[in-house]
Structure 1
């Protein structure tokens, strides 16, 4: 019995974890395809033999789903790429270069993570308004990248420190310049970490609500997270919230992230364990 409990304990824990975190996802998927007469039925409908795609059409009539999905993809991918690219050079500088005020600069950079977004909204909006960046996709990408850079730099510094300096010295002896050394030596060794941080930042940007809500005013820049708010506003006079429409839009938000994690889990695990040893 002890041996059976020792072997079955981890599986039981995993099963409990899967149920707790998987049940809300299943309920959203079910609500998105339930017929109207089964959505709020009592007792609740846990399975259906009459799935319908009518809610997708009704949702697209009230919210431009595909435009918002494209905007979300551009916003998430663009900000994740920019954050990782800038953090790559900053992390190398903090890990390898010794300059006056380096530790203080790193500390200030980390302290910016503690600032709530709403505390800097007014000055940022005034700055963006003067530069003509309000309601632009590249302005939103810059904002989101600036939010993710401190954490990305902090995590990437530890990965850079795991790379032996001898490799860089050997590259310099072979006649490579600094740019070639970064591309030939540092970049391949940091690739797992870069891919992992890119995926993590992409998920954060995909789920972001605050910046698109404040800095976007048109369909061309709004994301799927804004669509959820719009659905409640359009149906504000209804007796209850449009749970079926909101669930349908949530499916468009959840499914890409699930697929990304499923197909990118090896990359994520490889990146997280890349700094385990030299």
Structure 2
């Protein structure tokens, strides 16, 4: 009898309190992260008179009136087109320049190249606000103020150091003997890039392309500082323009949240379809570099 009870006790699954605590902490952390997103979506689709009601209406009747008002007040279509051009241009420029620089750092053996790479990486510590005045003077001298080209060049130079650092790890995965054998067989440098290096570095290029696109899409500092007319302003600038006509004591939070939804929705969709590629690229570069 005692042996049977002991056997039944041994077969009972033990409660893993450590795992329960981890899952509970994860759920709590997820709720904290999702709460601002929920509130933004809720406020964007709620009528103005439902924002401050007591008791609070957690699921108000959805309406598109806030987005209609936003379109009438701000040239959203032009700003969205500028944001797409700005983000795509910055991503393409950064990848091309960074890929060539990463190949040079990974393959050309020059004394002090490692120090130069670290100096390039440490340049990311320079605050963007501290470079506004010199960048403004440079863009003004070359007549690039209030242009998408100027914004693309400025942000591309900011995103290049981290992109170079990541791509160097991927290029070093390819043994240099493979390239030397290809050169002996008569392969040119473009052929080596396309047929040897590109298949290995594709995860890194995709990852950094997505990250740079998101950074450019969300960037507010440079468009706000270097853009004047609607021909170069981006969607992020519209957050600052919805305050026009409102007193300092009456902020149009419903319009601000509508702009937030318009900016976040494309990024959320992009992340849902590419999160595995981002993780694979970053982890692959970190583990194999």
Could you tell me the TM-score, scaled by structure 1's length?
A: 0.93
Three-state SS of the structure 2 residue aligned to 1:274 is helix
Report what 2:83 is aligned to: 72
CA distance in 1, matches of 2:134, 2:288: 44
Aligned to 2:201: 190
- More deviation, 155-164/124-133: 155-164
Q: Map 1:234-245 onto structure 2 (within 5 A).
A: 234-237=244-247, 239-245=249-255
| 2:258 corresponds to 1:248 | yes
Match of 1:267 among 261, 265, 277: 277
User: Deviation of residue 2 (structure 1)?
Assistant: 4.6
Instruction: Return 163-172 or 180-189, whichever deviates more.
Output: 163-172
Q: Deviations over 1:221-246 (max 9, x none)?
A: 111211001112x0432642100000
Task: Report the counterpart of residue 144 of structure 2 in structure 1.
Answer: 133
* Distance across 2 between alignment mates of 1:6 and 1:170: 54
Give unpaired runs (5+ residues) of structure 2: 1-12
Identify the residue that residue 218 of structure 2 maps to in structure 1.
207
Please tell me whether Structure 1 or Structure 2 has the larger radius of gyration of its CA atoms. Answer: 2
How far off its partner does 1:7 sit? Answer: 4.8
Q: Is residue 65–residue 249 contact of structure 1 (8 Å, CA) maintained in 2? A: no
Equivalent pairs counted in the alignment come to 276
Q: 1:157 Cα shift?
A: 1.3
C-alpha distance in 1, partners of 2:26/2:175?
38
Give the match for residue 19 of structure 1.
31
Shift of 1:112: 1.9
Determine if contact 1:135/1:221 at 8 Å carries over to the other structure.
Answer: yes
Q: Within 2, Cα distance between the matches of 1:270 and 1:237?
A: 48
Cα deviation, 1:203-226, whole Å, max 9, x if unaligned, reads 111111111011100101111211
How far did residue 15 of structure 1 move?
1.9
Whether the 8 Å CA contact 2:170–2:200 is kept in 1: the answer is no
Match of 1:119 among 125, 130, 146: 130
Cα distance, 1:9 vs. partner?
A: 4.5
2:191 to 180, 189, 203: 180
- TM-score when scaled to structure 2? 0.89
- The CA deviation at 1:4 is 4.3
Distance in 1 separating the partners of 2:247 and 2:185: 72
Q: Distance in 1 between matches of 2:246 and 2:127?
A: 30
RMSD (Å) for aligned C-alpha atoms: 1.8
Q: Is the 8 A contact 1:34 1:52 kept in 2?
A: yes
Partners of 1:189 and 1:163 in 2: how far apart? 7
C-alpha deviation, 1:263, in angstroms: 0.6
Q: Secondary structure at the match of 1:145?
A: helix
Contact 2:47 2:63 in 1 (8 A): yes
